Structure formats: structure tokens, C-alpha cells
A and B are shown apart, each in its own frame.
Chain A
């Protein structure tokens, strides 16, 4: 659905994209991850015809983003970093305006606005000007505005930046529904849990190049397996505790920081149970004991450090 080969973009001396490759299959979600300035927004702007690339090729839904830009604009939706809405107009009026600009008749634009307001739970607020909307409502209206022609491909640039947790989860649900209906979604995000929740495939960008790509699970595996973390209660117990841990799990200790010791957990939860039993039998009190799975944060920090 999205195919990118060797895409380059330069601003003066700054190479924003140094030739990236990307493939997104139909009906899947691709998360573009990376720190500020990694080139995420530049990539989205090129794919949505807002920016011309300096080199390489990009196709969306079989259309070249430069040559077929005019036709492509009917096939994509874009929800950018800001809710791109007219603050003074009502929610309904905004959607009707965007509908008219997609060349819908007045009646169809009105009907489509009604459908979208209903779907995104904005019917009650339809007659209020957007400036009275909450952050979550704005985002939902912005998403609705990008879905007027039910585009097969949707681009979202940091869709949930600045939203409270409840609004974020609501937006995630709405996005998952869209993907289930067959929409292909490419989103950029700085929130790793967002990528983890939504994306089938993650592409990590770093300084305009692809640093890693794969499913969230694949990326986590590159960091290594599960770990058990023990926090001792007494400083005097740490040495005895370490000896005990070495004897039951592995001679290797991942890290020791004051009272906190992390060891690899080769057998996952079973390792945790063995460690708990051994510590209990030895009468060593612990403050905390937990099995920790690698998170995308760790992947991200390692890859973009």
C-alpha cells in the first residue's frame, strides 16, 4: 500500500532524510518512531504530497507521490500534529466545508458530516464552535475531517500528543476500528506504548535513516529476554542475596545498583518462582520482586542513543 525506496530530502545543509526504505502492507498499521528531528514528519509530508522529495521514489496506493499527486489526494487522509480546523466554525460546518472541498454536493457533504459526527461521538457538540472543544474532541473532529472520502490510506502525525489518557485510549479504539475495516494507517509517534498498542510494524528512524524495523515483539527481542528484578530491604543482605541468585539462576548478574539487582530470567515466570522460593527459604527480606519484560522504551533508547 505504501512503498518507499531511497527517499531523500535535504533542507540546505541539513539532510532530513538520507534515503529511507519503507513498505506498509494494506490493512496494517506502521508506526514511525524516532526522536525529534529524526525525519518522521518530513516522511509523512512527502507521502501526503505536501513536500517534494529530492531523491528516491514513494508510492501510495499505487500512485506516485510526485507524478500522481493530484489523484493521490483523493486517496489519502492526513491528520497532522495540530488539529487543523477552523476554530470559529462549528464542528459540523468544518466537516461540511472539507466535504465540499472534496467536491461532494452540498447535500452529500451535509450527510457525510452527520455520519462522521455520529461515529466520532460529536453529534451533541456539532453546533458548537471548535474553540469550545476539549483536546480529545478536537482530535476526533480532526480525524473525522481526514476521513470524509473514506480514504484507503490514513496518515497521522503524532495523533495523541497532548491528550489525557482516557482520550488517548478512545482514539486508539477508533483507529483500531478503522484498521479493522481495511484502512492502512501510518502514524508517527513519540509514545512507545502507542506504537506497541497500535502498530503491526515499527520503523525506528534516527537522523534521517532507518535504525531498525520489525514487529514490536521482534524489536523487543533484540534487547534480550525477560529479567527478574530484586530490591533488597537491608544493605547488609545484598552480598548474601547475590551469592544466592548466582547459585540458582545464572552466574551472570545484569546489573547491581544499590539495593536493586537485575538478573536474566531464562525461564520467565518459573525463574521468578525459583528466586522467590530461594530468597524466602534463606530468610532474606525483599522490598520488591518483579518479572520485567523488555519494553519498547528500552529498544528505543538503545537504538537512538
Chain B
């Protein structure tokens, strides 16, 4: 019994590594992707920081571009769901998921390996965005080193949670395009229906609670606080306790979508 548990854990780890290796090998095979990955943050920073930013004044003062950057960081991590769903959807369409399932691959390894490799790539993208923020927008983390690390940790956790949302959706579709349609359409607007780009104070009364209770608002508010950047205030509980709220949101999303995705992978009937 002990032997077999040990073997299961060992194979899950090794198989996850093999699958993660595949993600990196794919990236090496398309250098253009890497460039896009790194250039996109710069475009976003310039676009929002200077094009929109020049017209936006924060109600309680503070530099808009410093306010903005944590929002963009969160948005990058939120969109991991779309790329995860698209990649899994493509593997479904190609029959690769079937091949993995008909092979003696550890049952959660395909999804775990993918999600971890995916997260590491998105953290790379986040690093490029941080660099763009520092160099172009003059963004700085003004909190302590520990707080700064905590903020990045929170962003990583949020990215991981969103990857599992995307993974689960990807396991229900039959093509990469379908996966894109099934995630981007609600996810992208949702990143705007939050305190990402503007404070929620100015929203109509009926819309404001939606934005305040959007998990993304909690993540953005928490990182703004930890980075020591200008933030906006709201009486809503999640924004009064943004670190606790965003941790709860992320762990809650993971607790729902990780088991759902693994279960779907193991039992899928087409």
C-alpha cells in the first residue's frame, strides 16, 4: 500500500514534468510567440497608461499610472484562463487528450503539468510587464520587500486559479476556437467590470456592487495595497479586507475548478 502510494506520487510528478517539458518545447518551436508574449505588456502599458491615462483623474488624488499597473498585472493573470482553455481545447480536437488517457499517464499529471508550466510562462509575461511599468510608466513598488513578494505571490495564485477555470472549460469544447469563444467573451469584459482601470465609485449604484464583489477587484485592491500604490476606497467587505478576500476567492476557485477539471478529464464521455 505504502509502495503504491509512493509510486503514484512519483509518477504523477514525473509525468507532470514530462507534460510541462512539452509546453516549454512548444514555446521554443515558435519564437514569435515569445516575442508577442513579451511585447504585449509594453503595448498595454502605453495604451492604458498614456492614451486613457491622460484623460483619467483619480477622485482622491494620486498618480493614475501607478494606480493602473496593478490592474494590468491582474488582467494579464486573468487572461491565463483563455490561453489554458484554448490549449486544452486544441489538444481535445487533435485527439491528444484521448491518447494521454489511453496511455498509463498518471491521472492528474496531464492537467497539473500543463497548469504549472503555463503559470511559469505567464509569470514571465508578468515580469515583462513589471519591467515595462518601471521603465515606461514610472511605476514603483513602495511597500516592504515582504509585501511586494506577497503581492506577486497573490498574482501568481490568482493566475493559477484562472488557469484551472480555463482548463475545465477547455475539457468541454472540441476546438481551440470554441475554447477561446467560451472564455474570452465573458472574461475580458469582466476584467473591466472591476476596479482594474477606474475606481468603482463612479459606477451607477446598481452596477457598483457587481464590480465591488468581482474577485478581480479584490485581487487588484490587495496588490495596490501591498505595493503601496494609490488605491480607491469602497465600503464593500471584499475591498475593506482585500488580502483576505482575494485569498479566499483564489482558494475557492481552485477548490472548485481543480477537482472538477480532474474529474472531467478522468470520466469524460464524448
Q: Which residues of A approach B to under 8 Å, CB–CB?
A: 11, 45, 48-52, 70, 73-74, 76, 78, 80-89, 93, 97-98, 100-103, 129, 145-146
Contact, CB under 8 Å: A101 / B103: yes
- Complex CA gap A198/B51 in Å reads 67
With A88-B29, A103-B11 as contacts: A80 and B98 at CB distance below 8 Å? yes
- Complex CA gap A88/B99 in Å reads 17
**Nearest A residue to B21 by beta-carbon distance?**
A97
- Complex CA gap A46/B96 in Å reads 17
- Shortest CB-to-CB span from A142 to chain B, Å, is 9
B1 within 8 A of A: no
Contact partners of B29 in chain A: CB under 8 A: 88-89, 129
B54 within 8 A of A: no
Contact digits for B83-112, partner A, Cβ 8 Å, 1 yes 0 no: 000000000011110111111110000000
**Nearest A residue to B97 by beta-carbon distance?**
A84
Contact, CB under 8 Å: B102 / A50: yes
Contact, CB under 8 Å: B102 / A101: no
- Complex CA gap A129/B29 in Å reads 8
**Interface residue ranges of B5-61 to A (CB < 8 Å):** 11, 14-15, 18-19, 21-22, 25-26, 29-30
Contact, CB under 8 Å: B103 / A100: no
Contact partners of A84 in chain B: CB under 8 A: 94-96, 98-99
- Complex CA gap A73/B11 in Å reads 15
- Shortest CB-to-CB span from B124 to chain A, Å, is 18
Contact, CB under 8 Å: A145 / B22: no
Contact, CB under 8 Å: B102 / A76: yes
- Complex CA gap A87/B270 in Å reads 23
Contact partners of A93 in chain B: CB under 8 A: 25
Contact, CB under 8 Å: B100 / A101: yes
- Complex CA gap A49/B267 in Å reads 10
Can you list 24 A-B pairs, Cβ within 8 angstroms, ordered by A? A48-B102, A50-B98, A50-B102, A51-B269, A51-B270, A52-B267, A73-B104, A76-B102, A78-B98, A78-B99, A80-B99, A83-B94, A84-B95, A85-B94, A86-B96, A87-B94, A89-B29, A97-B18, A100-B14, A101-B18, A101-B103, A103-B14, A103-B104, A146-B99
Contact partners of B104 in chain A: CB under 8 A: 70, 73-74, 101-103
Contact partners of A146 in chain B: CB under 8 A: 99
- Complex CA gap A86/B110 in Å reads 14
Contact partners of B103 in chain A: CB under 8 A: 73, 98, 101-102
With A86-B22, A88-B26, A97-B18 as contacts: A81 and B95 at CB distance below 8 Å? yes
Interface centre among A74, A83, A86 (most CB of B within 10 A): A86
- Shortest CB-to-CB span from B49 to chain A, Å, is 34
Contact partners of B15 in chain A: CB under 8 A: 100-101
Q: How many pairs, one residue from A and one from B, have CB atoms within 8 Å of each other in the complex?
A: 74
Contact partners of A81 in chain B: CB under 8 A: 95
Contact partners of B270 in chain A: CB under 8 A: 45, 51
Contact partners of A78 in chain B: CB under 8 A: 98-99, 102
- Shortest CB-to-CB span from A187 to chain B, Å, is 15
Contact partners of B18 in chain A: CB under 8 A: 97, 100-101
Contact, CB under 8 Å: B94 / A82: yes
**Nearest A residue to B106 by beta-carbon distance?**
A101
Contact partners of B102 in chain A: CB under 8 A: 48-50, 73, 76, 78
- Complex CA gap A78/B94 in Å reads 14
Contact partners of B100 in chain A: CB under 8 A: 101
Interface centre among A45, A88, A89, A102 (most CB of B within 10 A): A88
- Shortest CB-to-CB span from B177 to chain A, Å, is 15
Contact, CB under 8 Å: A11 / B269: yes
- Complex CA gap A86/B182 in Å reads 23
Contact partners of A49 in chain B: CB under 8 A: 101-102
Contact, CB under 8 Å: B25 / A89: yes
**Interface residue ranges of B233-270 to A (CB < 8 Å):** 267, 269-270
**Interface residue ranges of B177-229 to A (CB < 8 Å):** none
- Complex CA gap A58/B102 in Å reads 16
Which one, A80, A88, A100, contacts B95 given CB within 8 A?
A80
- Complex CA gap A101/B98 in Å reads 14
With A52-B267, A74-B104, A84-B94 as contacts: A98 and B99 at CB distance below 8 Å? yes
Contact partners of A145 in chain B: CB under 8 A: 99
Contact partners of A73 in chain B: CB under 8 A: 102-104
- Complex CA gap A93/B269 in Å reads 29
- Complex CA gap A145/B11 in Å reads 20
